[in-house]
Amino acid sequence: MQTETIVELQSTLDDCSPQVIGYVLERALELGALDAYTTPVQMKKNRPGVLLTLLARPELQHALAELLLTETTTLGVRFHITERLVAKRSVTTVDTSYGPIRVKASGDRALPEYEDCRAAARRHGVPLQRVQDAARRALHCPPEPR
């Protein structure tokens, strides 16, 4: 395991369209955010809203804050420098009948890369789980229970 320093950026939104929020989450990940998610919250005056959270390496703090300030209705961004403990992992590629699929492995756990499996499933017109199972079999891992 290793410890990493990261920054957590947060904004609360109660007047921003869901389409914009989805777009911002996608853009944040494209810019290099490690994670991007929303949490339902109750805002002042009892309005429902969302807490938008981005996790990133510290050098991306200003670019991601700029994204939140320009693309959402927020007037401010909170950030906290924090640490996280990360399990060591490796990425290998396995050959399947649907093409090469990257697989993340950590200890005795292995998980096929969603994007690779998604693309292969669409390309071959088969269910996503069939591609994921093929990748697990190529690694000699049992399929996930359904």
Q: Could you tell me the domains of the chain?
A: 2-86 (3.30.70.1380), 90-138 (no CATH)
Quote the CA–CA distance of 73 and 24 in Å, as a whole number. 11
CA 100 to chain centre: 22
User: For the whole prediction, is pTM greater than 0.75?
Assistant: yes
Q: What is the pLDDT along the chain (146 residues), one digit of tens a residue?
A: 899 999 999 999 999 999 999 999 999 999 999 999 999 999 988 999 999 999 999 999 999 999 999 999 999 999 999 999 998 888 999 999 999 999 998 888 889 999 999 999 999 999 999 999 999 889 876 555 65
Enumerate the H helices of 55-127 as residue ranges: 61-71, 114-124
